[in-house]
A and B are shown apart, each in its own frame.
Chain A
Amino acid sequence: MTTAVRAQAIRKRYGDFEALKGVDLEVPEGEVFALLGPNGAGKTTFIEILEGFRARTSGEAEVLGIDPMKPDAKWRARIGIVLQSAGFFETLTPLEIVRHFGSFYPDPLPAERVIEMVGLSEKGNERCRSLSGGQKRRVDLALGIVGNPELIFLDEPTTGLDPQGRRQIWDVVRNFTALGTTVLLTTHYLDEAEQLANRVGVIIKGDLVEVGTPREIGGRQRATARVTFATRGALAGRALPEGLALNREGDVVTLETFEPTQAVAALSRWAEDAGASEIPELSVTRPSLEDIYLQMVAASEAEGTSQ
Chain B
Amino acid sequence: MTSIPRTAAFQPNAPRRHVRLALERTRIELLTFFRTPEQVFFTFLLPVLFVVIFSTIFSGEIDGPPGAETVQFSQYFVPGMIATGIVSATFASLAMTVSMEQHEGMLRRLSGTPLPRSAYFAGKVGLALVTSFLEVVIILGIGVVAYGVKLPTEPTKWLVFAGVFFLGVASCSLLGIAYTRLIRTGSSAPAIVQPPYLILQFISGVFLQYNQVPGFLKAVASIFPLKWMVQGYRYVFLPEWVAQDDYGGGWQVEKVFIVLIAWFIASFVLARVFFRWNRGQNG
Judge whether A96 is part of the interface by a CB distance below 8 angstroms. Answer: yes
A143: chain B residues at CB < 8 Å are 109
| CB neighbors of B among A107-153 (8 A) | 107, 127, 143, 147, 150
| Contacting pair A74 B12 (CB below 8 A) | yes
Question: A53 and B112: CB pair below 8 A?
Answer: yes
Given contacts A83-B112, A103-B21, A150-B3, contact A53 B283 (CB under 8 A): yes
Q: Are A104 and B104 in contact (CB under 8 A)?
A: no
Distance in angstroms from B261 CB to nearest chain A CB is 30
Which positions 62-95 of chain A face chain B at CB distance < 8 Å?
72-74, 76-79, 81, 83, 85-89, 91-92
Task: Report the Cα distance A87→B109, complex, angstroms.
Answer: 8
Apart from A73-B13, A86-B109, 4 more pairs, CB < 8 Å? A73-B10, A87-B105, A91-B32, A104-B113
A89-B282 Cα distance, complex, nearest whole Å: 24
Query: Known: A73-B116, A86-B108, A104-B114. Contact between A78 and B3, CB under 8 A?
Result: yes
Residues of A within 8 A of B12 (CB): 72-74, 77
Q: Could you tell me the distance between the alpha carbons of A55 and B24 in the complex, rounded to whole angstroms?
A: 31
Asked whether any CB of chain B lies closer than 8 Å to the CB of A180, the reply is: yes
Task: Name 5 interchain pairs, CB-CB below 8 A, sorted by A.
Answer: A51-B112, A87-B101, A91-B36, A92-B31, A147-B114
A178 → chain B closest CB, angstroms:
13
Instruction: Please measure, in the bound complex, the distance between the C-alpha atom of A262 and the C-alpha atom of B281, giving whole angstroms.
Output: 58
In the complex, the answer to whether A74 meets B108 with C-beta atoms within 8 Å is no
Q: Are A83 and B21 in contact (CB under 8 A)?
A: no
The 0/1 profile, CB within 8 Å of B marked 1, for residues 225-262 of chain A is: 00000000000000000000000000000000000000
Query: Which residues of B sit under 8 angstroms from A78, Cβ to Cβ?
Result: 3, 7
Residue A176 lies at the interface, judged by CB distance under 8 Å to chain B:
no
Distance, CA A221 to CA B33, complexed state (A): 57
* A232 CB → nearest B CB, Å: 58
Complex: A89 Cα to B281 Cα, angstroms = 22
CB nearest to A179 among chain B residues: B1
Residues of A within 8 A of B10 (CB): 73-74, 77, 106-107
**Is B106 part of the contact surface with A, judged by Cβ < 8 Å?**
yes
Given A86-B109, A92-B28, A106-B9, CB of A54 within 8 Å of CB of B282: yes
B106 touches A74 (CB 8 A): no
Q: Is A293 at the interface (CB under 8 A from chain B)?
A: no
Chain A interfacial positions (CB closer than 8 Å to B): 51-55, 72-74, 76-79, 81, 83, 85-89, 91-92, 96, 100-101, 103-107, 127, 143, 147, 150, 180
Indicate if the CB atoms of A106 and B24 lie closer than 8 Å. no
Kindly list chain B residues whose C-beta atoms are within 8 Å of the C-beta of A85. 105
Interface string of B4-21 (1 = CB under 8 A from A): 001101101100000011
Return the contact of B106 from the options A77, A86, A147 (Cβ within 8 A): A86
> Which B residues from 28 to 58 make CB contacts under 8 A with A?
28, 31-32, 35-36
CB distance from B100 to the nearest CB of A (A): 8
Complex contact B114–A76 (CB within 8 A): yes
| CA of A105 to CA of B12, assembled, Å | 9
CB neighbours of A51 from chain B (8 A): 112
CA gap between A237 and B20 in the complex, in Å:
83
Most buried by A among B20, B101, B108: B108
Known: A53-B278, A54-B282, A54-B283. A83 touches B109 (CB 8 A): yes
Is the pair B24, A100 in contact by a Cβ cutoff of 8 Å? yes
The answer to whether A54 and B21 touch (CB under 8 A), given A78-B7, A83-B109, is no
- Determine whether the beta carbon of A89 is less than 8 Å from that of B32: yes
Q: Say yes or no for B115: interface residue by CB 8 A criterion.
A: yes
Cβ–Cβ contact B114 & A77, under 8 A? yes
Chain A residues, CB < 8 A from B20: 103
* Distance A96 CA – B31 CA, assembled complex (angstroms): 10
CA–CA, A91 and B107, complex, Å: 16
| Contact status of A53 and B281, CB under 8 A, knowing A87-B105, A106-B6, A150-B3 | yes
Q: A55-B282, A101-B113 are in contact. Are A86 and B21 (CB under 8 A)?
A: no
Asked whether A83 and B108 contact (CB < 8 A) given A54-B281, A54-B282, the answer is yes
Contact with A along B197-217 (1 / 0, CB 8 A): 000000000000000000000
Give chain B nearest CB distance to A199 CB in angstroms. Answer: 21
The winner among A76, A81, A106 for most chain B CB atoms within 10 A is: A106
Chain A, Cβ-Cβ closest to B35 = A91
Please name the residue on chain A nearest to B10 by beta carbon.
A106
For A83, list chain B residues within 8 Å (CB).
105, 108-109, 112
Chain A neighbourhood of B105, CB < 8 A: 83, 85-87
**CA gap between A104 and B32 in the complex, in Å:** 18
B282 touches A104 (CB 8 A): no
Minimum CB–CB distance from B204 to chain A (whole Å) comes to 34
Residues on the B chain within 8 Å of A107, using CB? 2, 6, 10
Closest to A101 in B: B113
Q: Are A103 and B3 in contact (CB under 8 A)?
A: no
Instruction: Report A-chain residues with C-beta under 8 Å of the C-beta of B116.
Output: 73
Which residues of the other chain, A, contact B1 by a CB distance below 8 angstroms?
150, 180
Q: Which residues of A contact B111 (CB under 8 A)?
A: 53
Nearest A residue to B104, CB-CB: A87
**Interface contact A92-B108, CB-CB below 8 Å:** no
- Report A-chain residues with C-beta under 8 Å of the C-beta of B101: 87
Inter-subunit contact B7/A74 (CB<8 Å): yes
| Contact yes or no, A81 B112, CB < 8 A | yes
